[in-house]
Structure 1
Amino acid sequence: MAAGCGSEIGAPVGSAHATEGIRIAAPAKAIVEPKAQQVAVFAGGCFWGVEAVFERVKGVTRVEPGYSGDTKATADYDLVSAGRTKHAESVRVFYNPALVSYNDLLHIFFSVAHDPTQINRQGPDRGAQYRTAIFPVNDGQRVAAQAYIAQLDKAAYWKKPIVTTIEPLSFFPAESYHQDFMAKNPQHPYILQWDKPKIANLNRLFANRVR
């Protein structure tokens, strides 16, 4: 088993600042979704914290860490974390659109799950495997993501431009020891430094959407 997010770069855990949540407007463009369970795929750095954020959202039924952007043959943590593939660490979110919409997930993704202005990095983790990306499962999601990025860029909430890419859908589940990582390892140093603050920001900014 690899040592975990951040280990491959040899940087001390305290070498950067945890991502701060930011209060931003929700997507202005409405989205129409089927009533049945839907799926969304996001990449925003180490999948442990992104998974933990979405797991706490009302209407989300399951979250899987995994890999997106390359083939099944290269969907291996040792290869991905070493930057030897085109994959990004990602999460697949299963949700009930009657309780939480894709737009709601986008709002949370950009607000608290990661920093969308960092190019090929998040926190202490560096490399294209930690890029900010969205992998729409249908045209409706693609249009919604494009519209929201344009809306946020125009509003200029951040000092730097958003670098989130919209890429063709692919997803391969990560190894079993990555699933529910925060729940299983609440005192892990990386979790305490980088991911617990995301949960605090979620509770602060989206109290009405937390389980």
Structure 2
Amino acid sequence: MTTSCNIPGLEVPRSRFPDPEQDLDDSAGAAHVVLAGGCFWCVEAVFLAINGVTFVESGYAGGSADTANYEAVCGGQTGHAEVVDVHYDPSKVSFGQLLKVFFSVAHDPTQLNRQGHDRGTQYRSAVFYETLEQKRVVEAYIRQLDAAGVYPEPVVTRLEPLEAFYPAEAYHQNFAAQNPYQPYVMAVAAPKVEKLEKTYSDYLKPDYRNDDTA
């Protein structure tokens, strides 16, 4: 991972990002979604701050079990993407609200097989859907964002069925919080979290503090 990256949405005010016109039913209890948006350290740091998110695990999806390790995935030939598995309470935060953060803060959805200077299919923009309802809502929101002209380029986020999620190595979990002064975290993850704090302060956990990485 390199130490510089575009910060998505910095020039786009919150008012330009519409709420999803479609969403999932919030009566089903605990839920989760697997998202790929570049370096999993950064995406994880963003979603851990959101009220209603109960657990976030970094990992790999899109490839096979025998290549689900950091060294192999970094080679860009495994089919895997770096992903986060976001577990949440739908009574506190909706699937649609998580998508709004994903598309506006967590990464730049107009970049396909890269995020900033991180290049390769392992850094692709993707939602690994587990149900057809998830797929339907994401597809509808992508159409909505493109129709609104939120970005100057079209959203290129891929929708891929979730065949399996493989947890990443233990040292990758909660990496930004555990390593706040690591150069990549300071250059890439921290600005995204700061963007979340400034733009979606009402989404933050009540006891949220980010003194180390903001």
Q: Give TM-score, length-normalised by structure 2.
A: 0.90
Residue 164, structure 1, aligned to residue 153, structure 2: no
1:73 to 28, 43, 66: 66
8 Å contact from structure 1 (residues 19, 123) kept in 2: no
Task: State the percentage of identical aligned residues.
Answer: 46
2:147 aligned with 1:180, yes or no? no
In structure 2, give the amino acid aligned to 1:182: A
CA apart distance, 1:73? 1.2
Aligned-residue RMSD, C-alpha:
1.2
Give the equivalent residue in structure 1 for 2:7.
18
Name the aligned partner's letter for residue 195 of structure 2. Answer: N
Q: 1:108: Cα distance to partner?
A: 0.5
The aligned residue for residue 149 of structure 1 is: 142
The answer to whether the 8 Å contact 2:34/2:129 transfers is yes
Contact persistence 2:8–2:104 (CA under 8 A): no
Distance 2:23 2:32 in 1: 18
State the Cα deviation string for residues 148-195 of structure 1 (Å, max 9, x = none): 001011111111111000001031110000000001100000011111
Q: TM-score, normalised by structure 1?
A: 0.91
- Contact map agreement 1:68 1:88 (CA 8 A) in 2: yes
Q: Secondary structure at the match of 2:134?
A: helix
The residue aligned with 2:210 is none
Which portions of structure 1, spanning 4 or more consecutive aligned residues, are displaced by more than 6 angstroms?
A: none
* 1:201 equivalent in structure 2: 195
Q: CA deviation at 1:36?
A: 1.6
Counterpart contact for 1:120–1:132, Cα < 8 Å:
yes
Structure 2 CA distance for aligned equivalents of residues 31 and 119 of structure 1: 26
| Deviation string, structure 1 residues 75-116 (Cα, Å, up to 9, x no partner) | 010010111210000000010000001111001000100000
Size of the alignment, in residue pairs? 200
Deviation of 1:17 (Å): 3.9
- The answer to whether the 8 A contact 1:38-1:97 is kept is yes
**SS of the residue 1:66 aligns to:** strand
Provide the secondary structure at the position in 2 that maps to 1:148: helix
Indicate the residue corresponding to 1:95 in structure 2: 88
What does residue 29 of structure 1 align with?
22
Letter in 1 for 2:175: F
CA contact (8 A) 1:18 1:193 kept: no
1:122-168 Cα distance to aligned partner (Å, 9 max, x none): 02200010000001121221111010001011111111111000001
Deviation at 1:19, TM superposition (A): 3.4
Cα separation, 1, equivalents of 2:91 and 2:28: 7
In 2: Cα distance, 1:30 partner to 1:178 partner: 31
Tell me the CA shift for residue 56 of structure 1. 0.3
Segments of 5+ residues of structure 2 without an aligned counterpart are: 206-214
Worse-superposed segment, 152-161 or 22-31: 22-31
- Rounded to whole Å, the distance in 1 between the matches of 2:139 and 2:190 is 29
1:35-64: CA deviation from partner (whole Å, max 9, x where unpaired): 421011100000000000000000000000
